[in-house]
Homo-oligomer: A and B are copies of this chain.
Amino acid sequence: MRFAFTDDQKMLRDTVRDVLRRECSPEVVRDAWEGKTEGARSAWNTLAQTGLIGMTASEGAGGMSMSELDLLLPLEETGYAAMPGPIVDTAAVGIPLLEAAGTDAQRERWLGLAAAGEARIVVSFEDREMVPHAASADILIAERGGAGYCLPIDEVSVVPERSVDRTREVGKVAFEPSPSYRMREDVNTVALFALGRERAALATAAQLVGLSRRMLDMAVQYAKDREQFGKPIGAQQAIKHRLANALIEQEFARPTVYRAGWSLATGARDAEVDVSLAKIYAGQAAKFVAKQALQVHGAIGYTIECDLHMWMKRAWALAAAHGDAAHHRERVGRHVL
């Protein structure tokens, strides 16, 4: 029993953290909100150059064969930076699906590009036609009627919707399920997409932890800086306890996410229960931290001139994505009771 990441895993996290600190500042996120995505694209490309977009691809395909567990800390950092773009869909879900279920032609055409960060993948599970980043992606992988499809985005109808988090560029996708898009039929497609759902939920949970950490950092900094009645508001016990509670929620969510990463990576029994716990606690923590951070910021946090709102809105969206609390609690309930 050893509940800690390896030095390699921490080094990878540090690399991602450094890249994002340099290239994905709040200004870059703010630009993406206004449709100016050059900065975010550039951060994506730098991550790709260091091999981080394709890290789950096999080494033959230009990747590092990394597991769900290896992916957690890098994804947490993308949440911390509120990085725009379909990194969950591409790195955590799409590339492994393409590799496991893509036809030779599909893999040949797309896998290397995806692993190099040059083709962005979005994934549409059965009955989930609403897909973030659909319009700006290059490839859609979709599950329809128990079969897998893989097609270039320009052959997909994408009806734009609008998220409270403008960087998410949500769209409703539809396409003709033509045989030419079909993925392999000699694999257990249903099981592979089911695994994809687990990976999506887990990866989202990791991002939620990162979002929490950043919002808490912002709130703590603000509480130290902002003075009222002649002293920093962070000296008030009500503010202290609010932020202490936020930290507790966040810090208990973290190992829960890490545990789920280990379970999925090692194929542990009841791994899906662990994934549900991860999603529930990470979503709950992020929403809770958002609320505390907003209250600590007061009216300033209530404007879009303050960066906080971009993190809060991402948190609200992700807490509901890939199974909201009700969905995952029901799954845990069936296991426990």
Chain B residues near A237 (CB, 8 Å)?
236-238
Q: Which residue of B lies closest to A238 (CB)?
A: B237
Chain A contacts with B in 202-252, Cβ cutoff 8 A: 236-238, 241
| Oligomer copy total | 2
Using Cβ atoms and an 8 Å threshold, which residues of chain B touch A236?
237
A202 to chain B, nearest CB (A): 35
CA distance A7 to B163 in the complex (A): 58
Contacts of A238 in B (CB 8 A): 237-238, 241
Interface size in chain A (residues, C-beta < 8 A)? 4
Q: Once the chains are docked, how many angstroms separate the CA of A238 from the CA of B241?
A: 8
Give the complex CA separation of A44 and B83 in angstroms. 71
A304 to B23 CA separation, bound complex (whole angstroms): 63
Q: How far is the CA of A237 from the CA of B236 in the complex (A)?
A: 7
Interface string of A96-113 (1 = CB under 8 A from B): 000000000000000000
Instruction: Name which residue of chain B comes closest to A241, CB basis.
Output: B238
When C-beta atoms are compared, the residue in chain B nearest to A239 turns out to be B237
The CA-CA distance from A49 to B238 in the complex, in Å, is 50
Q: How far is the CA of A8 from the CA of B241 in the complex (A)?
A: 46
CA distance A238 to B237 in the complex (A): 6
Q: Which B residues are in CB contact (< 8 Å) with A241?
A: 238
Chain A, residues 41-73, CB within 8 Å of chain B (1/0): the string is: 000000000000000000000000000000000
CB of A296, distance to nearest CB on chain B (Å): 14
Bound state CA distance, A241 and B241, in angstroms? 11
Rounded to whole angstroms, the CA-CA distance of A237 and B239 in the bound complex is 10
Return A79 CB to nearest CB of chain B, in Å: 31
5 shortest interchain CB distances as A-B pairs: A237-B237, A237-B238, A238-B241, A236-B237, A238-B238
Q: Please list 5 pairs of residues, one from A and one from B, whose beta carbons are closer than 8 Å in the complex, sorted by A's number.
A: A236-B237, A237-B237, A237-B238, A238-B238, A238-B241
